[in-house]
C-alpha cells in the first residue's frame, strides 16, 4: 500500500535550480510529484491497483506511422552514439499508431516548447536564453549552470545530426522543447525531406 515517489536523477544540477526551472517550465510541480499526488489521492478508493500514471496525447486526422518510424531511427541513433563513445543526448518517447489517421503520443513531462518558455511569466524580458539559464541555474561559473549548459549543448548537437540526416520539415519554436535540466528535444516529425530529386555527389 506504499507509493514510492520517483524522480529523474538530478546530476550536477542542484535542487534549488530544478525548482526554479519547474516554476518557469511547468508551473512549479514536477511530473513525479504530480503523479505521486494523484496516486496518493486514489490509493484508498475501491478501484483496481494503479501502478503508474502515464500522460498521453490522442491525435486524430494525422498519420503517425511516419512519426513511429522517425522515433525508431532516433532510438537507433542513440545506440550508434553510445557505441561510438559520444556523449550526445537524444530523447525517445512512445508513439502508437492505432489507424491511418489516429494514434497516441506520450507527453514529454517536465518540459515545454521554446515558444511556451518565452511566453511564460518567469522568462526574462531581456537577455534571452542565456539570461534564463543564469537566472535559473545560477551564475556562469556555478556547477548547475555548467551542467545545464552542457545538457543544452549535447542535446542540441545530437538533434542537429539527426535533423541533418533525416531532414524533418517545419522546425520552429513550437516543436522544439526544453526540459528542466536544459536539454532540447525535437518533436512532431510529420514530414521529412524527400531525397528523390537531390543530386548524388
Euclidean distance between CA atoms 199 and 201, whole angstroms: 6
DSSP category for residue 47:
S
Taking the C-alpha atoms of residue 62 and residue 170, their distance in angstroms, rounded to an integer, is 15
Global confidence as pTM: 0.81
According to DSSP, the residues that pair with 96 across neighbouring strands are 104
Cα distances (Å, whole numbers) of residue 60 to 12, 47, 193: 40, 30, 23
What are the pLDDT tens digits along the chain (201 aa)? 555 555 555 578 888 898 889 989 988 888 888 888 887 777 777 666 656 778 888 988 888 898 899 999 999 999 999 999 999 999 999 999 999 889 999 999 999 999 999 999 889 999 999 999 999 999 889 999 999 999 999 999 999 999 999 988 888 999 999 999 999 999 988 766 544 444 444
Q: What is the CA radius of gyration of the chain?
A: 19
Which residue, 186, 162, 191, is CA-closest to 176? 186
**Are 91 and 185 spatial neighbours (Cβ–Cβ below 8 Å)?**
yes
Amino acid at each position: 500500500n506504499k507509493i514510492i515517489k520517483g524522480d529523474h536523477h538530478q546530476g550536477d544540477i542542484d535542487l534549488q535550480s530544478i525548482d526554479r526551472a519547474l516554476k518557469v517550465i511547468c508551473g512549479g510541480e514536477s511530473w513525479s510529484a504530480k503523479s505521486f499526488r494523484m496516486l496518493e489521492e486514489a490509493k484508498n478508493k475501491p478501484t483496481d491497483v494503479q501502478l503508474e500514471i502515464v500522460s498521453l496525447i490522442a491525435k486524430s486526422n494525422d498519420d503517425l506511422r511516419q512519426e513511429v518510424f522517425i522515433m525508431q531511427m532516433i532510438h537507433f541513433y542513440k545506440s550508434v552514439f553510445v557505441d561510438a563513445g559520444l556523449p550526445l543526448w537524444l530523447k525517445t518517447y512512445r508513439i502508437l499508431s492505432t489507424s491511418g489517421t489516429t494514434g497516441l503520443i506520450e507527453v514529454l513531462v517536465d518540459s515545454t516548447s521554446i515558444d511556451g518558455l518565452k511566453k511564460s511569466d518567469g522568462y526574462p524580458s531581456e537577455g534571452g536564453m542565456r539570461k534564463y539559464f543564469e537566472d535559473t541555474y545560477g551564475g556562469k561559473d556555478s556547477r548547475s549552470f555548467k551542467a545545464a549548459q552542457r545538457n543544452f549543448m549535447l542535446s542540441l548537437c545530437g538533434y542537429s545530426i539527426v535533423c541533418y540526416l533525416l531532414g524533418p520539415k517545419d522546425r520552429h519554436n513550437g516543436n522544439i522543447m526544453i526540459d528542466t535540466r536544459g536539454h532540447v528535444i525535437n518533436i512532431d516529425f510529420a514530414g521529412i525531406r524527400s531525397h528523390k530529386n537531390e543530386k548524388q555527389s
